[in-house]
Amino acid sequence: MIENTSLLSKQITHGVYVISVANGSEQNAFTAAWVMQVSFAPPMIAFSINPEHYSYKLLQASGECTVNVLGQDHLAIAAHFGSSGVREKMTTYRWQSGKTIAPVLSDSLAYFDCKLSHTTDAGDHKIAVCEVIAAAELNSGWPLLYWQTGNMDGSSNLNKR
């Protein structure tokens, strides 16, 4: 096993996203960097999610989510949805309806409405493979990059174990 896991995290290039989920009247969202396109036809996105996240429970229950793309001005949004134990996590930002039960973040650069195809195990995470059923650009700007978030996710601390 490699010693320096933060090297892995920061040298592999990622964007930064807020993945929103819902089930019935419950809504939630979490910041994610481990996101990528995995198919053209049908269009598919995969992301890696810690199964202990509250968002994972809602994703499993409804089978739907929205991947919202963050921009350069969205560090505070990344921090907000990347923190656990935030009370009333969804009330601070504006949301709109898309084609799934999951809400769309109105400030995002673009969004992808997704139906969960399947999940598969990946160490301490699950890979969620999703079909994109709708997408749109909402605002102009450059995407936020994962390395610009510094140690916001605490990944540097993992080396100290």
- Contact residues for ligand FMN, defined by CB under 6 A: 16, 28, 30-34, 48-50, 53-55, 78, 82-84, 149, 152-153
CB of 49 to ligand FMN, least distance (A): 4
Strand, helix or coil for residue 152: coil
Comparing every residue's Cβ against ligand FMN, the nearest one is: 82
Nearer to ligand FMN, 19 or 110 (CB): 19
Q: Indicate the residue among 20 and 98 with the shorter CB distance to ligand FMN.
A: 20
Cα-trace Rg, the chain:
15
**For residues 25 and 41, which CB has a smaller minimum distance to ligand FMN in the complex?**
25
Query: Distance between CA atoms of 25 and 128, rounded to whole angstroms?
Result: 22
User: 110 near 66, Cβ under 8 Å?
Assistant: no
Q: Which is closer to ligand FMN, CB of 30 or CB of 104?
A: 30
Rounded least distance, CB 150 to ligand FMN, Å:
9
What is the C-alpha separation between 62 and 107, in angstroms, rounded? 24
Contact 59, 49 (CB under 8 A): yes
Instruction: Tell me how far, at minimum, the Cβ of 120 lies from ligand FMN, in Å.
Output: 14
By C-alpha distance, which of 44, 10, 50 is closest to 113? 44
Least Å distance, CB 83 to ligand FMN, is: 5
